[in-house]
Amino acid sequence: MVDIAPPDEADILGTAVTASGLAAEAPVKIPVQRYLSAEFAELEYERMWPKVWHVACTVDHIANPGDWFEHRLGKFSIILVRGEDGVLRGFQNVCRHRGNSICQGSGTGITELRCPYHRWAWDLTGRLREIPSRRGFGPISNDDLPLVPVQVDTWARLVFVNLDLDAEPLAHWLEGVPDDIAWANLDEFRGTYSTATPVNCNWKVVNEGFSETYHVQGLHREMLGSINDVNSPQRIWDRHGVSYQPYGVPSPRLGRDVDDQTVWESFVVTQGGRMGPEHAEPGSPVPEVPDGQTLQDVIAQKIRDHQATVGVDLSGYDTAQITHLSQYNLFPNTTVLISADIFTVLTARPGPNPDEGELATIHLSRMPSADAPASSPVHVTVPMDQADFGFVLNQDFSVIRTMQKGLHQPGFAHVWLSGEECRIINMHRNLERYLGLEPGGWVPVDQAR
């Protein structure tokens, strides 16, 4: 088993360094109109969203011939379908006749893609197979009107799509991320459930909430007893970034004399369920720490013991691989959370206007065997007022509910970012590339405040 190795010093971006690698002589200022302007949102739809790889679902959602899944990205809709030949394909979700959406939701066992409006039908390779009352259209070949294809590829049980057929391959797009997380053997996981929750804020607000640990000291104070949020190194590639976060140890913000009981209580409150249902609620005393070990070692062993109850062997993973969290931010809108027993994906999607978006989540579980068969994950839409994603994510949702309103205040012109928020800065720098903007810039000038 490969240990988690710290990145090269040149790749670590701490509080004194921005995502561009320059000393943080001044804060990075982002015009607030990027979160509010309908024109800016349209520019994203025109120049960025159709050009980037983004996560749609897991291979387990569409594992068998005839399985299909509708992936929505704001105004865009894509049909993912497993053909009778076993090949996974994707198509723009539009009937070539009058433009109706062909499918909504997901399902199994289909042998064709048929529009419910006038019953035009295509086979699962996207080739037109039937036009009712064909004679009225004159000469049309079935090869003239296939479904419009999109690029589809997979990595680590995740299905990615790209509407641009000329876009670079996914393997190149992901840069160094697959190699960086290869130690976790992500192919041993299987999708268990996924959700979609409409939110009352811009997609970037959601995405940025999962792109820095600076907010832990404010929003997640219960975590301070069990996370080193100060010394969590960050690494930036060209498009993507990662934060390596140690858990089971106290934050330096609490001082030097933090006892094990404080660390234990913090871990139990914020993620005790990882050690089993008996630790899902606070109140248990700190366990005894054997000589030569740390409380972090004890927590790691309890997670191993709990996973063993469902047949999963984590004996090959060391304490760091179990208690550290690698938080990858894939441009433009996806966060991937990885530990030896964790594989969770959070994706922020645009909504019908700049003040609305969607948070999509995918949860995967490690299986006892890498050959474990896929089972169809449950996929549900969860209204924002009913969303309950656990102690920490619920706190993040509390800010999602209030952030967009604050951005609209007339005295607020810019978001101010520090080098510690380098992954957010990097996202904006890449956004500027796609939209053709100067760094920190935005038009129209008449909307600037």
Residue 190, SS3 per DSSP: strand
Residue 73 has pLDDT above 80, yes or no: yes
pLDDT score recorded for residue 7: 38
Q: How confident is the model at residue 444 (pLDDT cuts 50, 70, 90)?
A: low
Lowest mean pLDDT among 109-118, 195-204, 282-291: 282-291
Report the pLDDT averaged over residues 295-314: 97
In terms of pLDDT, which residue wins out, 281 or 406?
A: 406
CA distances from 230 to 14, 219, 226, 354, 440 (A): 9, 15, 12, 33, 27
Q: How confident is the model at residue 18 (pLDDT cuts 50, 70, 90)?
A: very low
pLDDT score recorded for residue 394: 85
Residue 14 has pLDDT above 60, yes or no: no
What's this model's pTM, rounded to 2 decimal places?
0.91
Residue 198 has pLDDT above 70, yes or no: yes
Strand pairing category for 158-162 and 54-58: antiparallel
First CA to last CA across the chain, in angstroms? Answer: 54
Residue 20 has pLDDT above 50, yes or no: no
- Which helix or strand (DSSP H or E) is residue 322 part of? helix 319-323
Query: For the chain, which domains are there?
Result: 9-52+183-247+306-447 (3.90.380.10), 54-173 (2.102.10.10)
pLDDT score recorded for residue 434: 95
Give burial (CB, 10 Å; 0-12/13-18/19+) of 393: middle
Report the pLDDT averaged over residues 250-272: 94
Residue 340 is encoded by which pair of tokens? Answer: 């030896």
Q: How confident is the model at residue 24 (pLDDT cuts 50, 70, 90)?
A: low
Residue 144 has pLDDT above 60, yes or no: yes
140, 152 contact by CB (below 8 A) = no
Residue 11 has pLDDT above 70, yes or no: no
* Site of tokens 């039937």: 130
What would the pLDDT profile of 90-127 be if each residue is shown by its tens digit? Answer: 999 999 999 999 999 999 999 999 999 999 999 999 99
* Site of tokens 């479904």: 147
Q: What percent of the chain has a predicted confidence (pLDDT) above 70? A: 93
Q: Bridge-partner residues for 121, per DSSP?
A: 114, 130
